[in-house]
Structure 1
Amino acid sequence: MSASPVFVAIIGAGTVGSSFIPQLQNLIKNTTNRAIFPILIARSSKCLVSRDYTGLDLNNWSADLSASTITPPTFPNETLKWLKSAPGEVVLVDNTSSLEIAQSYPAFLSAGIHIVTPNKKGVSDSLELWDNIFNSARQGGNATGGYFYHEASCGAGLPIINTITDLVKTGDKIKKVEGVFSGTMSFLFNTFHPASGTCDEKFSAIVDKAKAAGYTEPDPRDDLNGLDVARKLTILARLSGLKVPNPTSFPIESLVPAELEAGSASDFMAGLPKFDSAIEERKAAAEKENKVLRFVGKLDVDKNQVSVGIEAFERGTAIASLRGSDNVISFFTERYGANPLVVQGAGAGAEVTAMGITADLIRVLERLN
């Protein structure tokens, strides 16, 4: 006898959501012991919805959504009420980066609705919201709460969250974590200061190329200010046992000159070449020590320290040897001391981020079996 059905509601059908939905479709096709019904695909102003919970046809979902004139149920009230009425378990997949949506996670989890998300806002914002989320989740001790998984909030599909969670749960003690956590910053510095060979291009020119190629946010300041990396470090620090208040409570080196913080993205790009000399000087200083520059995040549990910024690394080390937009994270623990546990691979991109979301959805399904 097959298990009871699971209903999946998706908020966010942009770049990541558009990669997740085909993976969901494949999962539905290959899951034989349980029926999975997608019942909501919502963007900010329109949606596809199966009001009677019989499920949506995903074969032409993108065209159907573009043509839809249906307004999404209000969030959180109408959405929560409707999902609670579903005739079975419900998984809410939040593909947005909205803090407002993340602030409603505790209400959904307390109602027994499971959440899978790459949204790092909820788990990196205030410590109060972090506590509320996990106290409301079944993993946090709420017997009737929903399961909460957020692997893709740090490193896309790389097994970073699961790795550090497994280390802690099995009794290991995290000592230090360091690495390159941003695919954008990895690409910029691997190009600007390669581990082998040379690069004569100015940093501003590489930023311009990265923006044109879609490696950066539409406004590159959203990458260069270091806050994205700081949010990921906040998550890992909390999982390691540090009570980090928020992602701006520790030193973050911003690569956005103070003079260029205001104004449009085009103004920023036009003014950035004036500041190339400062980072060129740091590159030259690193070269004298046979090192390369990388933009890294670091946490030290014993010293209660977290930091984000540029550091020089000896050639041949895992961080110095990165190529392309890969991420690398090293875990130093009581078990993994002098030789850390290293996770490396693509840490950005819609397909691998969607993979992390799909894998978390599968974890929920396995927990419900």
Structure 2
Amino acid sequence: VGLIGSKLIEQIIQNAARIKDSLGIELIINGLSNSRKMLISADALDPGNYAPLLESSKTPANINQLIEKMVDYNFTHSIFIDNTASAEVPRFYERILDNNISISTPNKVAMSSEFNQFIGLKSLSKKRGVPFKYETNVAAGLPVISTLENLINSGDQISKIEAVLSGSVSYIFNTFSANGPDFSEVVKEAQTLGFTEPDPREDLSGADVRRKILILAREAGSEVESTDIEIHSILNDACLNAQSVEDFYVELGKDNQRFRSSVTSAEKENKRLRFIASFEGGKGVISLKAVPVNHPFYALSGSDNMIVLHSNRYNRTPLVVRGPGAGADVTAAGVLAEIIGIAGLI
């Protein structure tokens, strides 16, 4: 129960009565865990009182024991929610699914790992007849993976994916201009506003974007690994190798002129800089590009994400999904939507 988890509980409280009245679905919480403690009960937990209940728990957090309890209780229609970014929790997905427990998660570690794990979890979900949902892996609450699934299931073929998949980097380049503050100052502002990770290199390196475009490429039917996605880094080696965030900003400041030249050149041609991930012909590329006024990415604003899907059916005019692609509220809303969807399936 971190930031996304707490927002999810808030939304469950706010919507529980409506969901029960309109859909006939009663959402019951039987277990909770944070990084320190966990609480699991055969009786329903009070979501409005979860924080003190969890804090007063004497049981240390242990994912293995949590799963054992879930299996022992054998609740019908159980759903396991992983709201972490942990690499440890996804190691237990196979065991959870194998015990007929559904999963909903924004954690992208499992589905961006080796392709064998990606296809293995999907196959196990199908074999056991238990939903495994991860819509929020790519763009928070935006319906991207489900849109791809619908296209593929209905016989369409994806020829190309283009996407702006980082809300933080999107904000930075929507804010940065030829006549505005230096690039390093715009990055600092984005960090202060909470758009970036505490170390902005986690966003600017392109590693997270690679995980997202990898998942989309796989959903589109390509058997690809992360090595098939090439990153043309925004940052120079001195920035990437800086020993601390403070040192990173020193090195980034030394590189301000390069960024200023790039944005000035783009604006002279009436173009805008965008950090774009694309996938076509079995290969992916992530790079900073200057896009013209008639390009879908030109009009992006704030921290919006945009995914552009080219397919056999959408060949003249591509299918576009746009909206907030980051934030605890929209991510939690996406998870809640999956919970409701899973409840309708089981």
Fold-level similarity (TM above 0.5)? yes
Unaligned runs of 5+ in 1: 1-12
Question: For residues 300 and 159 of structure 2, what CA distance do their matches in structure 1 show?
Answer: 23
Q: What is the CA RMSD across the aligned residues, in angstroms?
A: 1.6
Matched, 1:42 2:33: yes
Matched, 1:348 2:336: no
Contact 1:251/1:308, CA 8 A, preserved across alignment:
yes
Question: For residues 120 and 216 of structure 2, what CA distance do their matches in structure 1 show?
Answer: 17
Contact 1:298/1:306, CA 8 A, preserved across alignment:
yes
Letter in 2 for 1:44: S
- Once the two structures are superposed, residues 236-257 of structure 1 have per-residue CA deviations (whole angstroms, 9 ceiling, x without a partner) of 00011111112x4321122232
- Once structures 1 and 2 are overlaid, which stretch shifts more, 359-368 or 95-104? 95-104
Matched, 1:14 2:2: yes
In the alignment, which residue of structure 2 is the partner of 1:9?
Answer: none
In the alignment, which residue of structure 1 is the partner of 2:216?
Answer: 236
> Match for 2:337 among 335, 338, 359?
359
Question: For residues 35 and 182 of structure 1, what CA distance do their matches in structure 2 show?
Answer: 35
Unaligned runs of 5+ in 2: none
In the alignment, which residue of structure 2 is the partner of 1:6?
Answer: none
Alignment of 1:174-189 (within 5 A): 174-189=158-173
Q: Secondary structure at the match of 2:45?
A: coil
Matched, 1:83 2:63: no
Q: Please report the TM-score for the alignment, with normalisation by the length of structure 2.
A: 0.94
CA drift of 1:97 comes to 0.8
Question: For residues 34 and 228 of structure 1, what CA distance do their matches in structure 2 show?
Answer: 35
Contact 2:214/2:224, CA 8 A, preserved across alignment:
yes
Task: Pick closer, same or farther for the CA change 1:91–1:199 going to 2, 3 Å.
Answer: farther
In the alignment, which residue of structure 2 is the partner of 1:131?
Answer: 119
Contact 2:40/2:69, CA 8 A, preserved across alignment:
no
Task: Pick closer, same or farther for the CA change 1:145–1:99 going to 2, 3 Å.
Answer: farther
Alignment of 1:1-369 (within 5 A): 13-30=1-18, 31-32=20-21, 33-50=24-41, 53-72=42-61, 74-76=62-64, 78-86=65-73, 87-138=75-126, 142=127, 144-193=128-177, 199-246=179-226, 248-260=227-239, 261-300=241-280, 303-368=281-346
- Once the two structures are superposed, residues 261-302 of structure 1 have per-residue CA deviations (whole angstroms, 9 ceiling, x without a partner) of 2411122123210011222222233233321110011111xx
- Once the two structures are superposed, residues 60-80 of structure 1 have per-residue CA deviations (whole angstroms, 9 ceiling, x without a partner) of 2223333444313x323x222
- Once the two structures are superposed, residues 58-106 of structure 1 have per-residue CA deviations (whole angstroms, 9 ceiling, x without a partner) of 112223333444313x323x22221112232210000001122112211
- Once the two structures are superposed, residues 138-191 of structure 1 have per-residue CA deviations (whole angstroms, 9 ceiling, x without a partner) of 2xxx0x242100111111001111111111111111111112111001100001
Question: For residues 166 and 26 of structure 2, what CA distance do their matches in structure 1 show?
Answer: 37
Task: Pick closer, same or farther for the CA change 1:237–1:43 going to 2, 3 Å.
Answer: same
- Once the two structures are superposed, residues 292-333 of structure 1 have per-residue CA deviations (whole angstroms, 9 ceiling, x without a partner) of 110011111xx2221111011002432011111011111111
Contact 1:225/1:255, CA 8 A, preserved across alignment:
yes
Question: For residues 146 and 350 of structure 1, what CA distance do their matches in structure 2 show?
Answer: 26
Contact 2:228/2:282, CA 8 A, preserved across alignment:
no
Structure that is richer in helix per residue = 2
Question: For residues 17 and 233 of structure 2, what CA distance do their matches in structure 1 show?
Answer: 46
Contact 1:37/1:54, CA 8 A, preserved across alignment:
no
CA drift of 1:340 comes to 0.8
Aligned residues between the structures: 341
Task: Pick closer, same or farther for the CA change 1:347–1:231 going to 2, 3 Å.
Answer: same
Letter in 2 for 1:324: G
Contact 1:118/1:156, CA 8 A, preserved across alignment:
yes
- Once structures 1 and 2 are overlaid, which stretch shifts more, 324-333 or 281-290? 281-290
State, as a whole percentage, how many aligned pairs show the same letter: 34
Question: For residues 313 and 141 of structure 2, what CA distance do their matches in structure 1 show?
Answer: 24
Letter in 1 for 2:54: L
Question: For residues 228 and 55 of structure 2, what CA distance do their matches in structure 1 show?
Answer: 41
CA drift of 1:217 comes to 0.2
Letter in 2 for 1:46: K
Letter in 2 for 1:39: N
- Once the two structures are superposed, residues 182-208 of structure 1 have per-residue CA deviations (whole angstroms, 9 ceiling, x without a partner) of 100110000114xxxx64211111001
Question: For residues 26 and 88 of structure 1, what CA distance do their matches in structure 2 show?
Answer: 24
Task: Pick closer, same or farther for the CA change 1:67–1:199 going to 2, 3 Å.
Answer: farther
Question: For residues 138 and 171 of structure 2, what CA distance do their matches in structure 1 show?
Answer: 17
Contact 1:191/1:199, CA 8 A, preserved across alignment:
no
Question: For residues 15 and 24 of structure 1, what CA distance do their matches in structure 2 show?
Answer: 14
Contact 2:4/2:83, CA 8 A, preserved across alignment:
yes
